[in-house]
Amino acid sequence: MSGKFRPRPGFVVQAYKFALDPNTAQERALRSHCGAARAAYNWAVSWVTASWWQRKAEASYGLGEEGLTSWRPWSLPALRREFNRVKITDPRFADWWEENSKEAYNTGLANAAAAFDNYANSKQGKRKGPKVGVPRRKVKRKARLACRFTTGTIRVELDGRHATLPRLGTIRTHEPTVKLLARLQDGTARILSATIRHERGRWFVSFQVEAAREITPVARPDGAVGIDLGIKHLAVLADRTGEIRYEPNPQHLDGSLKLLRFHSRRVSRRQGPDRNKGIQPSKRWIKANTERNKVHHRVANLRTDALHKLTTRIRAEYGTVVVEDLSVAGMLKNSRLARKVADAGFGEIRRQLTYKGQRNACRTIVADRWYPSSKTCSACGAVKAKLPLHVRVFTCDVCGLVMDRDENAARNLAALTAAVTTGTGVAGDQDTPCVSKPRGADRKTRRQRPDRNTGRGGRAGGATLPHQRQTEARDRRQAEALVLW
């Protein structure tokens, strides 16, 4: 299935993911299908880029544009036509291509077409984010095992413990599929595609389903909560009624570091692989490495379970959630905090809060990245010039408020819901009626440093200084830059 599927009105597209328990023959077939997808992807990348290298070589000989080899297309239909033409005679596919479903090869071709599209759009400036390089061939030892099925027999068996996929047959699931089966039997859902994937040492199948949209009412639809994420406490929740709740940080990785250190030493004492010398790993190394990976997989599973429970609990209670636009990539560059930040999963928390809010028709407000939630007093609105990270208690120099800095930040984030409706972003002004501002200012300008010439803050001789204009512009952006989903 190419292109982005658009569900019918009143329906949404969601996924149901189940762990599989394949036997030895079925696991071999699963790996064969994923390997076929990788082989088709590598063929498509080589076939398209071959014309690029040919044109570059011909241009080095002085040939004109008319004499160069024509560009090869990378659209999915073009790749599919060419692959069907060469797969019978090409020695790389002729002996075994019939062993797998055609959907396995179509998966690789579709991924290659998408990779070339992303590269072209990125080079032309049509794609956001970091620059995308030229698609490269996938290495067998590093490639992620995955395959997608869009046609053929894709169903969940009536016993609720088996799933049927094309050419793979019926595979037992590790967990019951009664939730999806009930919706299929009621006619409120239909399966669009299925994707098999090997991750964390297990095989999973994910069914993409077009399901009737069911909005679950939240306990407090008019309630708003601000969430300040941290390391000491995973999240500090403050709602507009003044209630504060601290969510502890499980720190799953820290609890397993001793066991990981033990297994890592066992792995280091065994003969591992060496590609430069052509040395294959010993069986004892493979066994020890498998035991170490199990610890990593357990930590990842515990983290995923904890984050899902936290975000589901928040979304089931509040109708509006305010979170920060944290620079997680920048935090990971701090060698002292990188492990703690990665273990907390800040980006995953925001992602889950966003899509779970959309599912229940609730609001998610993302505060601007430069909004000083920790430096702003939640009582009077005064902003500190500096607040080092090691200072865990916020003390206001104006009104004398003393409060935990995370709690103060959460209160300010909760107050941003009032900024959307009344134009104020201070926690202490939530009940203050909106006052007309002729110049359109939503927040007081910060107190400026005294001018060197006049010794006073503000304007000097009726002219605005450059650093004052920059500060005023930054304050306006902080007050207005709210991303509302």
pLDDT along the chain (485 residues), means of 10: 65 92 96 96 95 90 85 94 91 88 95 96 90 93 94 94 96 95 93 95 95 87 92 92 91 94 96 90 95 95 95 94 91 91 93 91 90 89 88 89 91 81 47 38 45 44 49 52 36
Cβ-count burial 167-194 (b if 16+ within 10 Å, e if not): bbeebebeeebeebbebbeeeebebbbb
Please tell me the predicted confidence (pLDDT) of residue 429.
Answer: 45
Q: What value, to the nearest 5°, has the Cα angle with vertex 239 and ends 420 and 355? A: 70
Q: Is 434 exposed, middle or buried (0-12, 13-18, 19+ CB in 10 A)?
A: exposed
Q: Decide if 475 contacts 376 (C-beta within 8 A).
A: no
Please name the residues in contact with 231: beta carbons below 8 A apart, sequence gap of 6 or more: 249, 337, 340, 341, 344
- Does residue 228 have an active-site annotation? yes
Q: Decide if 109 contacts 93 (C-beta within 8 A).
A: no
Q: How many CB atoms lie within 10 A of CB 217?
A: 10
Please tell me the predicted confidence (pLDDT) of residue 461.
Answer: 41
The single residue of 103, 228, 239, 368 carrying the catalytic annotation is 228
Q: Output the CA torsion sign for 127, 130, 136, 138.
A: negative
Please tell me the predicted confidence (pLDDT) of residue 68.
Answer: 87
pTM of this prediction?
A: 0.78
The single residue of 239, 343, 406, 475 carrying the catalytic annotation is 406
- Does residue 429 have an active-site annotation? no
| Angstrom distances, CA of residue 256 to CA of 247, 309, 344 | 21, 21, 14
The single residue of 103, 239, 324, 407 carrying the catalytic annotation is 324
Please tell me the predicted confidence (pLDDT) of residue 323.
Answer: 93
What type of residue is 310?
Answer: L
> Measured in Å, how far apart are the chain's first and last C-alpha atoms?
28
Whole-angstrom Cα distance, residue 224 to residue 318? 6
Please name the residues in contact with 139: beta carbons below 8 A apart, sequence gap of 6 or more: none
Please tell me the predicted confidence (pLDDT) of residue 442.
Answer: 44
Beta-bridge partner residues of 89: none
SS3 for the chain is CCCCCCCCCCEEEEEEEEEECCCHHHHHHHHHHHHHHHHHHHHHHHHHHHHHHHHHHHHHCCCCHHHCCCCCCCCHHHHHHHHHHHCCCCCCCCCCHHHCCHHHHHHHHHHHHHHHHHHHHHHCCCCCCCCCCCCCCCCCCCCCCEEEECCCCCEECCCCCEEEECCCEEEEECCCCHHHHHHHHHCCEEEEEEEEEEECCEEEEEEEEEEECCCCCCCEEEEEEEEEECCCEEEEEEECCCCEEEEECCCHHHHHHHHHHHHHHHHHCCCCCECCCCECCCHHHHHHHHHHHHHHHHHHHHHHHHHHHHHHHHHCCEEEEEEECCCHHHHCCCCCCHHHHHHHCHHHHHHHHHHHHHHCCCEEEEECCCCCCCCECCCCCCECCCCCCCCCEEECCCCCCEEEHHHHHHHHHHHHHHHHHHCCCCHHHCCCCCCCCCCCCCCCCCCCCCCCCCCCCCCECCECCHHHHHHHHHHHHHHHCCEEC
Please tell me the predicted confidence (pLDDT) of residue 90.
Answer: 85
- Does residue 239 have an active-site annotation? no
Structure tokens at 471: 């500060």
Q: Decide if 195 contacts 208 (C-beta within 8 A).
A: yes
What type of residue is 12?
Answer: V
Q: Which candidate, 101, 168, 107, places its Cα nearest to that of 138?
A: 107
| Angstrom distances, CA of residue 367 to CA of 31, 141, 226, 459, 471 | 44, 41, 10, 30, 18
Whole-angstrom Cα distance, residue 361 to residue 413? 21
Please tell me the predicted confidence (pLDDT) of residue 469.
Answer: 56
Structure tokens at 29: 């077939």
Whole-angstrom Cα distance, residue 191 to residue 179? 13
